[in-house]
Structure 1
Amino acid sequence: MKKHNTGLYIVLISVHGLIRGRNLELGRDADTGGQTKYVVELARALGEHDLVDKVDLITRRLVDDSVSDDYAQHYEKLSSKARIVRIDCGENAYIPKEQLWDCLDNFADSTLEHLRHQPDLPAVIHSHYADAGYVGTRLAHLLGIPLVHTGHSLGRSKRRQLFAAGFKSQTIEARYNMTTRIEAEETVLGVADRVITSTWQEILEQYSAYDQYQPERMRVVPPGTDLHQFFPPDGMETKGDIAKEIFRFLHDPEKPIILAISRPDPRKNILKLITAYGESDKLREMANLVIIAGNRDDISEMEEDAQNVLQDILLCIDQFDLYGKVAYPKHHKPAEVPVIYRLAAACNGVFVNPALTEPFGLTLIEAAACGLPIVATEDGGPKDIIDNCSNGYLIDPLDSEDIAQKLISAITDRKKWLEFADNGLDGVRKNYSWQAHAEKFLEILQPVVTGAEAAPAFQGKRRKQLHHDRAMFSDLDQNLLGDAAALEKFVKILQANRKCVLFGIATGRRLDSAIQAMKKHRIPMPNVLITGLGTEIHYNPDLVKDVSWELHIDYLWNPRIIRRVLKGLPGLELQAKTEQGRFKISYYINPEISPDVSEINRLLHKEGQAANVVLSFGQFLDVIPVRASKGLALRWVAENHDIPLDRILAAGGSGADEDMMRGNMLAVVVGNRHHEELSELVHAEEIFFSTRPYAGGIVEAIEFYDFFDTCEVQES
């Protein structure tokens, strides 16, 4: 077979889901989401480029009464140079992607047969997701042509999310074929000439978990935005129903709009935005706040996280008396989202994304395409967007004052506002339109296709298991903070062994407070964050909450009765509302006049309440569910990640850490320990008491236990 002389023949492979050129059934199920839209739009955009002669988007053919006859057609034209090609996959029925693995060899053979009947050999194969990566790897080897891959989502990240949702290892394997998926991903990462991602964060935080991690082969190409849908104000934005719905909340709808659009998810940090707005007299005077947080009919019927966020939003609005200044409509249609952006742009407003972390930031691009300046979290993809577009400010999402000040600057400086708006429009056209996406994709492709830039050789050292070999958990304040030089040494040791160790922090702090402290002291984000004395567990890189843990610890928890029992006891004073949690009641304690812990427990038991009462640093007393503690949360994580307890190093220094160090773990009590609270541990022969304080004590324990010397997955 010969190659085209006039232009490229590009083959895209996307096996699962329902793919057609019109009326995409987005959201029908887990397999028909953003990836299906992406591959269709990419095929069209490539087909419009002068360097491309032909594009085939190859997917599986379906002959199934449960889906449209469209998916049974062998060919569907997208444009003069692009088409969808549907290949039989050994199973006619529409089945989930997790059940397709046994069919993929048939699909690969049939696709090879199709390609051999084409007049020309493809210049490149671009596979999408792990299943297509498996097929693409086979075809690239057999045809001797380059392979480019886009993961869209990764098995190792998905596995962490499933753990957080309460799935056990056996269930994950049986339902999702996770081992097969991850092995396919490892293989394609070892073979692909180029891997395309949306952000650098994907490369650094997600792909780096793989043995075949080769960042030198990876390139960032942000997804495209439909500029026919997202465009600057045209005067019609105030005419529709959504404008009326928003304006009915506001006393003065002529003021600039501060616009936030996100899911009602705690990680989106909407409450901090409202607090920043509520605390700033100047911001309240000069602008309205509009919050689009999904659609709802009855908050009480929503999922618990969404319900809590929305209830907190309403309480915060009431706390600062923001009625007439904040709009929070219950419903909006997908087609109205661009109109909402234009509504904010037309009144010289600003778009804000205050998320704790934002992997990409599609809403920021959509806002910029509508001529709206942006203010966005400094954590994640927004850095790339503002670097490329120069259309706004980055903020510390945990700093209310910083959020307010950047919003004020964006709105009050009219010259800067116009500059940001123009820059955003230009930046989106150059970097984030589908035409720009196709252009950059082809720039990356050209040297691979011509052989001018060969993929660097790589021999990855395969790990013996899918997960971390061991784990290390530490308190934050008593252990890692206090000695900057020792912390720096600890961080270097940790970074050198991140392939080997699952790193966790277990703290009494709230999630936002813990993140703020880690940022300030440059502590790498852990794989696991146990906060609120073990009442919350979050997994990185996306701070996914372990909802199954919350269900588990809710057993016999009745905070109303506990507060009543402890009310009025001498030496006990409730801490501020910000220190309280759904599963944590926090007091200041004066041990000289208060009942001791055993007496407090007796009073609770008398009322039929079983709880964990934790005394720490001699001045804080916390009551948490009987199933919750740092040690119990640690064991929960260890079980879900299949890490034996005798391969876990736990470091602590106060009474709150005691059960984290008892048992079969390797344990270290740092030199600056609270002696009285940990006095009972002195006689435990299996616990190491370091001579050095803070992080230096943990380094000493690593040396004492030879903790990393037997690591089975160290870097080659």
Structure 2
Amino acid sequence: MSYFIDAVLKSDEKIELRQFLHELRAKDQRYLLRNDIERAFTEYCEDHEKSEAFQHVSNLGKLIFYTQEIIVEDESVCAIVRPKIAYQEAFRIHEDFTYDKMTVQDLLDTRDRFVDRYKPQEGDVFEIDFEPFYDYSPTIRDPKNIGKGVQFLNRYLSSKLFQAPRQWKETLFQFLSLHSYNGLKLMINPRIGSWEQLSDRVKQAIGFVSQRPENDPYENFRFDLQDMGFEPGWGNTANRVRETLEILDELIDSPDDSVLEGFLSRIPMIFRIVLVSVHGWFGQEGVLGRPDTGGQVVYVLDQARSLEKQLQTELQQAGLDVLGVHPKVIVLSRLIPNADGTRCNERLEKIWGTDDAWILRVPFRKFNPNVTDNWISRFEIWPYLETYAIDAEKELLVEFKEKPDLIVGNYSDGNIVAFLLSRRLNVTQFNVAHALEKSKYLFSNLYWQDLENQYHFSLQFITDLISMNAANCIISSTYQEIVGRTDSVGQYESYHCFTMPDLYHVVTGIELFSPKFNVVPPGVNENIYFPYTRQEQRVPDDAERLEELLFTLDDPSQVYGKLDDPSKRPLFSMARLDRIKNLTGLAECFGQSKELQKHCNLILVAGKLREDESNDPEEISEMRKLYEIIDRYELHGKFRWLGVRLPKTDSGEVYRVIADRRGVFVQPALFEAFGLTILEAMISGIPTFGTQFGGPLEIIQDRVNGFYINPTNLEETAQKLIDFVTKCEQNPDYWLEISRKGIDRVYTTYTWKIHTTRLLSMAKTFGFWNYSSKENREDMMRYIEALFYLIYKPRAQALLEDHMQR
């Protein structure tokens, strides 16, 4: 990247850089992020009447494009430049316009110095560096393949089978010998004593089953296969058994990554799954809209249902259902004694629409009942998680009668519990972040001490480092969640190098090229969220009731605001009232645009209407802000705010009612890790405008099946909405075109069947990898434990002592 700096400093553009930096110094802002830099350079080009080519094509324009951060110091400027995805460099540009490349330590010291926390006289700061621990595993080379870890591992493993056939065939043979379920032997028995014998017997068995009718049930020839050395698990019919044996035969004779993946996906090795979702109110009704409860609950419940269904299908195809082999899925959450009318005080609750999937709620130990008997914010939950994991282990073993085969953590607290459980039980651990707070709260690591009393980021960020490095696999919803885009840093990438001043420096926080990263987007519950055109699936009374609620009902306990003209096109959004979801930003955008108000009404579904209904400071602050915006812009008659917690069936119909009115869905979040509401709106048939900061960039194809917005640019956002509704008024078919393409996008890419099929295939691949690689992760795990006991646990104990005084 020094090429661009050299090119600028050795040309006439050096003067432009000098002038640009001089103008930056004249501003109050001393730490500029990507958006700030881009805006400042645009203003510079406009003020100095620079051409479009200069702004975007000149060497200075390219340098600015790749610059992610600028720190303006007294005698120099520090520029963090990201020339390509997942790679960054830092340079210090001096007053005489010479420059030096900065080390990671220099950069972190500079950031500490910016917040007056650099204290070299007190000794060096503790450095966290995970880089040496990734020497044991293969790494991806091409950034385009980040997030495709399983495909990479299958290629790597198949190449090993090809390069060292004897060793790896022996490993495969031993792996097949391992499998059983509750004492029932699966796959192969001791009648097959070596991999050479396995190869011969596979060919013999193929010949045997090929002579039987394709649909001949496995039970009819089970004992014949058993005599050859093959136990249940190969298939439920002669045809299915033959297919599985032929895949293994091909794998033995000519290894290939697709063949390996196909074979591993057929091995029955996953029967019991734990999905960990600790914080918040976790239930099937009466919880959405409460603090810390939103898309994650929907995600986990839908995932649990889909996993059970997919496991049932796989076990049936393996011929195991008739032998009494059935899957069980448990969602592990927190039991809240003071459940506020929900079922969160019940230990066990069956998940609707399943045969053997349950919510298992385990309470926190009492400590101070004034705290632990009630809901605890996700920012304050940390002191209870270690003992919670110990208690949860006992409860899980009671319910499963065996240890689980896979543990999937959700969010930071669930992931640390998943780590503690998987470490104790020696079980494969998957992580799902949903959202990493470090990306949501800008400068949260730099100013963690100022934010500690409210957010406790010192605990959150060390938790994230521990769990993401401990995990066998990290499931992300999008590629950009891992490593961002050309012009933006990914959520996980933000953990690669950062400082927590006075606490520690992270030199290498995560290996972004590790095959543990896998993009597996979620789906939507198609029984609840489906297109508005499917009138045969809709309940007319529900549609009528919700239409009244949305547009005309006069009930101050549920609704604030009346519409002067309910027939106007509705702009609609539904989210929690917190700063990141930015519903107040959408209201302000609407309030500032008289033109938009001529065409549309704004309708928000946001959980609560009154401060006395909430004990969440951030939610209360957003309520006050929303009321102030309504008054300031005189939105009465053009705006409705529904303070309701909708059951899931109602939330699905609400989208369809908005679609009936040819409405528009707007997702204005300042940052969105994925965006389930975007999927829900699109599958319902509502043209959708989604934030350009986060996951919506990969769901929506801009101006094809939806639109991107920059929620920090209110004027631009309003204009995009005006352009769309104006075009729809001129050509009603345009609304239908975007609606149809949005529906198609979800059905082809974002379904739970696609998600769970890939997740289970990945779990099996990682199971084989963990066994076959014989990699010694114990050094990393000991390092992780040191971070847990030396950083996490003392800080959690200090927070507990604070809770004991409440």
What TM-score does the superposition give when structure 1 sets the normalisation length?
0.51
Residue 80 of structure 1 pairs with residue 364 of structure 2:
no
Q: How does 1:351-500 map to 2 (within 5 A)?
A: 351-387=665-701, 390-397=704-711, 398=713, 399=716, 400-410=718-728, 412-451=730-769
Structure 1 residues 284-683: aligned runs within 5 Å: 284=598, 287-292=599-604, 294=606, 303-317=620-634, 326-329=638-641, 331-332=643-644, 334-335=646-647, 337-387=651-701, 390-397=704-711, 398=713, 399=716, 400-410=718-728, 412-451=730-769
1:473-505 deviations in whole A, cap 9, x for unaligned?
xxxxxxxxxxxxxxxxxxxxxxxxxxxxxxxxx
Are 1:214 and 2:511 an aligned pair?
Answer: yes
Moved more, 41-50 or 8-17: 8-17
Runs of at least 5 residues in structure 2 that lack an aligned partner in the other structure: 1-177, 187-232, 234-267, 316-325, 484-489, 496-507, 554-561, 614-618, 788-806
Matched, 1:44 2:305: yes
Contact conserved, 2:283 with 2:297, CA < 8 A, in 1?
Answer: no
1:126-150 Cα distance to aligned partner (Å, 9 max, x none): 2234454344335545655432112
The correspondence of residues 189-208 of structure 1 with structure 2, limited to 5 A, is 189-204=468-483, 205-208=490-493
Cα contact 2:688–2:707 (8 A) shared by 1:
yes
CA distance in 1, matches of 2:656, 2:523: 19
- Map Cα deviations across residues 373-407 of structure 1 (whole Å, 9 max, x no partner): 11233332222221399522223442143342234
User: Distance in 2 between the 1:21 and 1:300 partners?
Assistant: 23
One-letter code aligned to 2:517: M
Contact 2:563–2:640 at 8 Å: present in 1 too?
no
Matched, 1:100 2:384: yes
Matched, 1:54 2:327: yes
Shift of 1:46: 0.4
Q: Residues 427 and 331 from structure 1, CA distance in 2 versus in 1: closer, same or farther, beyond 3 angstroms?
A: same
- Distance of aligned partners of 1:185 and 1:104 in 2 relative to their CA distance in 1, 3 Å threshold: farther
The residue number in structure 2 matching 1:585 is none
After TM superposition, give the deviation of residue 48 of structure 1 in Å.
Answer: 0.8
Distance in 2 of aligned mates of 1:152 and 1:191: 17
Instruction: State the distance in 2 between where 1:70 and 1:303 align.
Output: 24
Which AA in structure 1 matches 2:464? E
Aligned to 1:523: none
Distance (whole Å) between structure 2 residues aligned to residue 316 and residue 303 of structure 1: 20
2: CA distance between counterparts of 1:245 and 1:256?
12
Shift of 1:224: 3.7
Supply the distance in 2 between the matched residues of 1:27 and 1:455 (Cα, whole angstroms): 46
Do 1:389 and 1:423's aligned partners in 2 also have CA atoms closer than 8 Å? no
Could you tell me whether the CA contact under 8 Å between 1:348 and 1:411 is conserved in 2?
no
Contact 1:88/1:110 (8 A) holds in 2: no
Contact (CA 8 Å) 2:289, 2:576: kept in 1 or not?
Answer: no
Match of 1:257 in 2: 570
**Residues 181 and 427 (structure 1 numbering): CA distance in 2 closer, same or farther, change over 3 Å?**
same
Paired residues of 1:391 and 1:421 also in contact (CA < 8 A): yes
Instruction: Single out whichever of 301-310 and 37-46 deviates more from structure 2.
Output: 301-310
Tell me if the contact between 2:690 and 2:707 (Cα under 8 Å) persists in the aligned partners. yes
Which of structures 1 and 2 has the larger relative contact order (alpha carbons within 8 angstroms, sep 6+)?
2
Could you tell me whether the CA contact under 8 Å between 2:277 and 2:331 is conserved in 1? Answer: yes
User: Residues 390 and 3 from structure 1, CA distance in 2 versus in 1: closer, same or farther, beyond 3 angstroms?
Assistant: farther
Which residue of structure 2 aligns with residue 150 of structure 1?
432
1:186 matched to which residue of 2? 465
Q: Is residue 435–residue 673 contact of structure 2 (8 Å, CA) maintained in 1?
A: no
- Root-mean-square deviation (CA, aligned residues, Å) is 4.9
Q: As a proportion of its length, which structure holds more helix? A: 2
User: Aligned partners of 2:564 and 2:336: how far apart in 1?
Assistant: 57
8 Å contact kept, 2:288–2:646 = no
Deviation at 1:189, TM superposition (A): 1.6
Alpha-carbon distance change, 239 to 21 in structure 1, aligned in 2, over 3 angstroms: closer
Cα drift, residue 291 of structure 1: 2.6
CA deviation map 1:254-309 (0-9, x unaligned): 454333445666744324542575236xx83xx43233163665799994443333
**Is the CA contact (8 Å cut-off) linking 1:156 and 1:182 kept in structure 2?**
yes
8 Å Cα contact 2:568-2:601 kept in structure 1: no
Could you say if the C-alpha distance between residues 197 and 333 of structure 1 is closer, same or farther in structure 2, counting changes exceeding 3 Å?
same
User: For the residues of structure 1 that align with 2:301 and 2:363, how far apart are their CA atoms?
Assistant: 19
**1:216-243 CA-partner distances (Å, limit 9, x unpaired):** 4223334443333333334657622643
Deviations 1:153-206 (A, max 9, x none): 54656887989999747746xx95x65554443222222121123344543443
- Counterpart CA distance in 2 for 1:329 and 1:63 is 30
Q: Check the 8 A contact 2:690/2:696 in 1, yes or no.
A: yes
Asked if residue 2 in structure 1 is aligned to residue 301 in structure 2, the reply is no
What is the count of residue pairs matched by the alignment? Answer: 450
Q: Distance in 2 between matches of 1:264 and 1:107?
A: 34
Q: Which runs of 5+ in 1 are unaligned?
A: 467-716
Q: Does structure 1 retain, via aligned residues, the 8 Å contact 2:571–2:600?
A: yes
Counterpart residue number, 1:512: none
Flag the 1:62–1:91 CA change in 2: closer, same or farther, 3 A: farther
Q: Is contact 1:371-1:424 (8 Å) kept?
A: yes
Match runs of 1:218-237 below 5 Å: 218-233=517-532, 234=535
Shift of 1:12: 1.5
Deviations 1:501-537 (CA, angstroms, capped at 9, x unpaired): xxxxxxxxxxxxxxxxxxxxxxxxxxxxxxxxxxxxx
Q: Which amino acid aligns with 2:551?
A: I
Kindly indicate whether the alpha-carbon contact (under 8 Å) linking 1:151 and 1:197 is maintained by their aligned counterparts in 2.
Answer: yes
Q: Is the 8 A contact 1:237 1:243 kept in 2?
A: no
SS in 1 for 2:531: coil
SS at match of 1:274: helix
Alignment of 1:6-45 (within 5 A): 6=233, 7=268, 8-14=270-276, 16-17=278-279, 22-23=284-285, 25-26=287-288, 30=292, 34-45=295-306
The answer to whether the Cα contact below 8 Å between 2:348 and 2:358 also exists between their aligned partners in 1 is: no
Deviation at 1:22, TM superposition (A): 4.7
Q: 365-374 or 289-298, which moves further after superposition? A: 289-298
Q: Which of 392, 403, 406 is the aligned partner of 1:124?
A: 406
- The answer to whether the Cα contact below 8 Å between 1:59 and 1:85 also exists between their aligned partners in 2 is yes
Note closer, same or farther for the CA distance 1:228–1:311 as it changes in structure 2 (3 Å cut). Answer: same
1:112 CA displacement: 8.3
TM-score, with length taken from structure 2: 0.46
Q: How far is 1:103 from its partner?
A: 0.9
Distance between the aligned counterparts of 2:609 and 2:749, measured in 1? 38
What SS does the corresponding residue of 2:689 show, helix, strand or coil?
strand
CA distance in 1, matches of 2:273, 2:436: 22
Instruction: After superposition, give the CA deviation of every residue in 1:534-558 in whole Å (9 maximum; x if it has no partner).
Output: xxxxxxxxxxxxxxxxxxxxxxxxx
Task: Give the secondary structure class of the aligned counterpart of 2:685.
Answer: coil
3-state DSSP class of the match of 1:57?
Answer: strand
Q: Is the 8 A contact 2:573 2:604 kept in 1?
A: yes
Q: Cα–Cα, structure 1 residues 213 and 43, in superposed 2: closer, same or farther, change >3 Å? A: same
> What is the match of residue 521 of structure 1?
none
- For 1:15 and 1:356, the matched residues in 2 are separated by 24
The AA in structure 2 aligned to 1:80 is D
